[in-house]
Amino acid sequence: MALYLIGDIQGCNAALGRLLQRIDFSPSRDTACFVGDLVNRGPDSLGVLYRLMALGDSARCILGNHDLHLLAVAHGIREPHSGDTLEPILNSPQRERLLNWLRQQPLARLESPFGKDLLLVHAGVLPAWTAEKTLALAGEVHSVLRSDAVQPYLHTMYGNTPARWSDNLQGADRLRVVVNALTRLRYCSSDGTMEFASKETQAPPGYLPWFEVPERASAGTSIAFGHWAALGWTARSNVWCLDSGCVWGRSLSALRIDGLDARGDFNTSRFDVDCSSGC
């Protein structure tokens, strides 16, 4: 059995098919974890959802900002953006089944290949959060998303404030900080104040990439994330950015966890499919 981590698909179903063929993926033998942004901007978001649903328990997904955007549009909370490619899902006779499946996916996962913890998020983890805290807070949002309160919750989900986590936050403010960190975060300050305007790789003054903040509480846990196409594929000893920009004409990537080295770090292998001719 192999465990693969796969970056942002964003509706690129043909590229996903090529990648699964490239790694010789078998649902009866292997597991693939997808780090969010399953849909939108690519040409076949509907096909992506059907493919992932058909993979059953061998596909373990988390939600990204584009997946939440689909839910907000479907519930009439947000207007579609000019670059959205969500209409086939919204107009599908299977619309409710597809949206209900999406609502069941969490905002963070913890895998433990070879007995070592691996945290999966779409965007980032705030400096004050341990892996355990991240999972607990993600669970608070997940419980609302899959409940009958999903529509009123989506009305309160958007916004950039509060920009910093506090254990005293409650209600909509609390959940908004959690969603923003898990699905939108790139840069934050050492005290955990989030910055959302910058998408490139040059940090704005006073901010750092979230995974470079000194003494962050999650530093002892390996973390894989997506979301940051401008950063692209990044591999460090215990942090991986898996968004290699498929929808932007670069590549779709998978990381296979092969075991542990003598220091206890993950041994990994990378696999890519080229998307320069379309995804």
Q: pLDDT of 142-155, one tens digit each?
A: 999 999 999 999 99
Instruction: Name the band, by pLDDT with cuts 50, 70 and 90, for residue 190.
Output: very high
Q: In order of start, what are the domains of the chain with their CATH numbers?
A: 3-274 (3.60.21.10)
pLDDT given for residue 152 in this prediction: 95
**HSE toward the beta carbon, residue 124, CA cutoff 13 A:** 24
Position 58, amino acid: S
Does 201 have pLDDT greater than 90? no
Contact 10, 227 (CB under 8 A): no
- Report percent pLDDT > 90 for the chain: 96
Among residues 155, 34, 4, the alpha carbon closest in space to that of 101 is found at 34
Residue 230, C-beta contacts closer than 8 angstroms, at least 6 positions apart:
199, 200, 201
Does 277 have pLDDT greater than 90? no
Q: List, in sequence order, every residue forming a beta bridge with 223; answer none if it has no partner.
A: 119, 239
Task: Report cis status (omega within 30 of 0) of the bond before 162.
Answer: yes
User: Sign of dihedral through CA atoms 68, 73, 78, 80?
Assistant: positive
Can you tell me the distance from the alpha carbon of 253 to that of 22, in angstroms, rounded to the nearest whole number? 10
Does 193 have pLDDT greater than 90? yes
Q: pLDDT of 47-104, one tens digit each?
A: 999 999 999 999 999 999 999 999 999 999 999 999 999 999 999 999 999 999 999 9
pLDDT given for residue 278 in this prediction: 82
Mean pLDDT of the chain: 96
pLDDT given for residue 236 in this prediction: 87
Does 192 have pLDDT greater than 90? yes
Q: pLDDT of 215-237, one tens digit each?
A: 999 999 999 999 999 999 999 87
